[in-house]
Amino acid sequence: MERPRILVVGGGFAGVECARRLERHLAPSEAEIVMIAPFSYELYLPLLPQVAAGVLTPQSVAVSLRRMLRRTRIVPGGAIGIDPKAKMVIARKITDELVAEPYDYLVLAPGSVTRTFDIPGLSDHGRGMKTLAEAAYVRDHVLSQLDLADAATTQQERISRLGFVVVGGGYAGTETAACLQRVTAAAVRRYPRLNPNLIKWHLVDIAPKLMPELGDKLGTTAMDLLRRRGIDIALGVSVAEVNDDTVKLTDGRMIPARTLIWTAGVAASPLVATLDAETVRGRLAVTAEMRVPQCEGVFALGDAAAVPDLASGDGAVCPPTAQHAQRQGKACADNVIAALRGQELKPYFHKDLGLVVDLGGADAVSKPLGIELHGLAAQGVARGYHLMALRTNVAKVRVLTNWMLNATAGDDYVRTGFQARRPARLRDFEYTDSYLTKEQIRQHTAALHARQQ
């Protein structure tokens, strides 16, 4: 008798935790486990700003899938369409070959992409911070602006090259602005011709508060700290237009800047739209057991699913955080196993463990288990949490070694040039144009299924 096939889409926090638990609790004879993942690593997203800042190397936050998963077959590519009637997922391999992957049970954890709006110039000039390639590009780009400002022949060009705008006052945007501001403040000492006072960092968010989840006291502490470091924080406004050398805000201000880093939230992977199922603000509507009601054998979790937050109640859904994704992955694996064995499924219930925000150096704010901390104590909690959350000892050692090396030896502020003169738009890094329509899915499913027989 052929083994049931469990197909996991996505190699992020949710997908990897699910696959790891499936491997531990299912005998090889009970099911075949397959994962579709575009990269051979799980990206530890919370530390991405430190990669952009050069504190960590890219390899430090790229945790090997093959070190974590022992018997899961990995299809190197991205899922671009789902046919729930045929129980097939269409994937584009990294060779651009299309394949149809069948399933008996499907776990959808494709994650999210950067959420954008129809703002003139944003698609051409906005830079993201969602992928490893984007973080490496942003670091190169920021350092290149110092080089070009140093070589500029006019004051107008010099000022615009030393202007940096980060949009998004959540954790990603705040940490990105904080970490990169430290980079430019230190690197400018290598440029005796540049006036450090010309470097201007701006953090912009339409919300009335910075990181509101931290609460008023810690949020104000973080904002005061950043302002003391020279970061201009503009709340209650957004971007109206982006040009080559200026960013126009909705309050009419014109900021001279050639760098716009866009971190204004996330949207569920476009893969969700290829599945004919109900959504909640773009995320798949699922039960508390993470089942997609309209599709037999399909589970969804992480950033792509609106998982009910039973701890909060009042119809709330779990926020798209790494903490929830990891725990949902384990709970979803248990429910897939229960469905496979004909047992009762259990709802996902999780109480938040708290928040950590690393602002670079000794600066941090944290709220573990509701306890408000800032300064070195908060930094110790933040870094301890990240080390605990990394899933391999190799990754823990790499990150810890990088932190120690950066603290003692500093940075050389070197541009690698890997992405020089290549398109750097959000869609180029996040492949948001790759997904199929429902009609294309049906056509490809039939053709690929026939070819693979």
> For the chain, which domains are there?
5-114+267-352 (3.50.50.60), 122-264+354-415 (3.50.50.100)
Q: Which two tokens stand for residue 118?
A: 């129809």
pLDDT over 80 at 46, yes or no: yes
Residue 1 pLDDT exceeds 70:
no
If you average pLDDT over residues 351-371, what whole number do you get? Answer: 87
Query: pLDDT digit string (tens) for 321-349?
Result: 999 999 999 999 999 999 999 999 999 99
Report residue 383 as tokens: 């870094």
Please give the Cα distance from 110 to 87 (Å, whole number).
Answer: 17
Predicted TM-score (pTM) of this structure:
0.94
Other C-beta atoms closer than 10 Å to the C-beta of 351 total 9
Residue 453: predicted pLDDT: 63
Report the DSSP pairing between strands 5-9 and 200-205. Answer: unpaired
**pLDDT grade for 370, boundaries at 50, 70 and 90:** confident
Res. 421: pLDDT tops 80: no
Statement: residue 449 has pLDDT above 90: no
pLDDT > 70 fraction of the chain, expressed in percent and rounded:
99
* Predicted pLDDT at 135: 95
pLDDT of residue 451: 73
The mean pLDDT of 82-90, rounded to a whole number, is: 95
Q: Is the pLDDT of residue 102 over 70?
A: yes
pLDDT of 23-39, one tens digit each? 999 999 999 999 999 99
385 or 426, which is more confident?
A: 385
Average pLDDT over residues 229-253: 97
Model confidence at 142, in pLDDT bands (50, 70, 90)? very high
Q: What is the pLDDT of residues 171-187, one digit of tens each?
A: 999 999 999 999 999 99
